Amino acid sequence: MSGYAGPVTQLPDFDPTDGGRHPCIVERIAASTTPRVPFSVEFYPPRDEAAEERLWRAASVFSELGAAFASVTYGAGGSTRDRTVRVVERIVRETDIVPIAHLTAVGHTVDELREMVRVYGEVGVSNILALRGDPPGDPLGEWAAHPEGLHYAEELVRLIHEVGDFHVGVASFPEGHYRARDLHHDTEVLVGKLRAGAEYSITQMFWDVDDYLRLRDRVVEADPEQGAKPIIPGLMPVTSLRVVRRMVELSGCELPTGLAEQLRLAAGDGPEENRAAVREVGIGFATRLCERLIAEGVACLHFNTLNFSRATHEVLANLSMVPAAGASIGTA
């Protein structure tokens, strides 16, 4: 790999005390000076004090490396509401990372959703990712709307805009959402969300660049205007075979046979998987995936970090986008 070839990005600062607003995500990634392409990260609300400390260590690293934004997930039915709000509020208050707060429709009334949007606004959030969400307790179970709630993410996009002046993104699915009838139907749903006022989409994690490219082509063909909006690829460097198998199971996406076999061989046959070997395979695969995505002109690379910084940092360093871990961060 070639070495790091530029300074860590310096994006326009946001001062939450001056009454201003965060820029929209499209503007934020356009303003990035990260070498090659902007990057962003996803965090989960921590479950305990140790997990919270780990999250803030990761947030500090990614803030210093110049992450364009950080999305923070939201549990189905509001199961992580207070923790999500606390995390995004602290990101606003203590970092220069632009936060995106997730919001899921499942399990909520319309009034509860409106109130949640207002709460986000009160803590300084300008960007929201609107999601229908999976059933609590069983993500692959039968989906049912709350009797006083919404049925679709498109409706949530419209509701958020009705409540206030927010920038809204949505999810997209390179392999098609597992509840969609087919890829044509899945594309229609995404285009509907974009027409409702979403400014971009972030994909579910995927492992085959061709799936992403076919999604991008389908949206352009269905509606060139909406197809011009960024489709940001969602990625996850694999560091544990057990963890990635579980995430694939819950998401409904598929792990390519070749990658699955490489990871299985790396894990070994012992009672505990060989994490170092799995990690080496996962980091290498993620680096090659990103190289091709950059070559295909993606607007940004979005990493599911599981609240750790090291794996994503290594991939970014391999791509010559940031200094290697332990290197001085500043001008090259």
CA distance 46 to 54: 9
CB atoms within 10 A of CB 33: 12
CA distance 174 to 216: 8
Residue 39: φ, ψ to 5°: -135, 160
Strand partners, 169: 129, 200
Choose, from 42, 155, 175, 273, the residue flagged as catalytic: 42
Query: Distance from CA of residue 7 to its chain's centroid?
Result: 24
DSSP 21: -
Residue pointed to by tokens 């990761």: 58
H or E segment to which residue 184 belongs: helix 183-195
> Coil, helix or strand for 129?
strand
Print the SS3 string covering 216-284: HHHHHHHCHHHHCCCEECEECCCCCHHHHHHHHHHHCCCCCHHHHHHHHHHHCCCCCCCHHHHHHHHHH
Give the full edge-to-edge strand order of the sheet including 167-172: 231-232, 200-203, 167-172, 127-131, 98-104, 69-72, 39-43, 301-304, 234-235
- The C-alpha angle 70, 74, 77, rounded to 5 degrees, equals 170
CA distance 220 to 278: 37
CA distance 174 to 233: 9
CA distance 274 to 194: 43
Task: For residue 42, indicate whether it is catalytic.
Answer: yes
Q: Which residues are catalytic?
A: 42
